[in-house]
């Protein structure tokens, strides 16, 4: 007797969010429950907004906002941005992503100080402080270990 296994297919919102999380290297990319919950919230938002009389485009925009709430600034993207702007002359462009991936696990305590979930984080003094601290951390790393 063979066992029949069923696999649940990912829906549009789950696939979109999974791709988004992977592309920006958010830690939630491995959290299926998080992805499923957010996708369900987005689908519910879409349905509710259509019932409220919004157009499909308006409802979709609100659903996507619910899907990506608090996920506008990834640690990886911020660190890569620092490397791109502050170390463009000292680190070859081809190594920027590799360096960001290599350093990211060591920057957790630094990132933990800041709330990256606010929509306007990049417009705050806190963002500039984080940028400066990351610049210093990368400079220290490069001074001690160079490019590996």
**Looking at the 3D structure of the chain, how many domains does it have?**
2
The 10 Å Cβ neighbour count of residue 81 is 16
Same domain, 113 and 133: yes
Q: Three-class SS of residue 146?
A: coil
Give the model confidence (pLDDT) of 47-70 as tens digits: 999 999 999 999 999 999 999 999
Same domain, 55 and 92: no
Taking CA atoms, 21 is separated from 24, 48, 90, 129, in Å, by: 5, 25, 29, 25
The 10 Å Cβ neighbour count of residue 50 is 16
Domain that holds residue 28: 12-67
Residue 81 lies in a domain: yes
Give the model confidence (pLDDT) of 23-40 as tens digits: 999 999 999 999 999 999
Same domain, 87 and 109: yes
Residue 28 lies in a domain: yes
pLDDT of residue 147: 74
Whole-prediction pTM: 0.83
Q: Which residue has the tokens 């990834």?
A: 74
Left, alpha or beta for 80 (phi > 0: left; psi -120 to 50: alpha)? alpha
């Amino acid at each position: 007797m063979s066992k029949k296994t069923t696999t649940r297919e990912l829906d549009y919102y789950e696939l979109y969010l999974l791709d988004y999380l992977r592309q920006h290297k958010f830690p939630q990319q491995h959290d299926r429950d998080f992805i499923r919950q957010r996708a369900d919230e987005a689908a519910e938002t879409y349905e509710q907004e259509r019932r409220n009389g919004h157009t499909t485009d308006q409802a979709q925009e609100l659903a996507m906002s619910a899907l990506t709430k608090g996920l506008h600034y990834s640690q990886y993207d911020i660190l890569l941005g620092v490397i791109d702007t502050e170390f463009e002359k000292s680190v070859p462009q081809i190594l920027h992503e590799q360096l960001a991936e290599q350093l990211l696990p060591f920057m957790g305590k630094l990132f933990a100080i800041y709330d990256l979930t606010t929509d306007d984080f990049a417009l705050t003094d806190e963002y500039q402080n984080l940028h400066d601290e990351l610049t210093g951390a990368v400079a220290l790393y490069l001074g001690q270990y160079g490019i590996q």
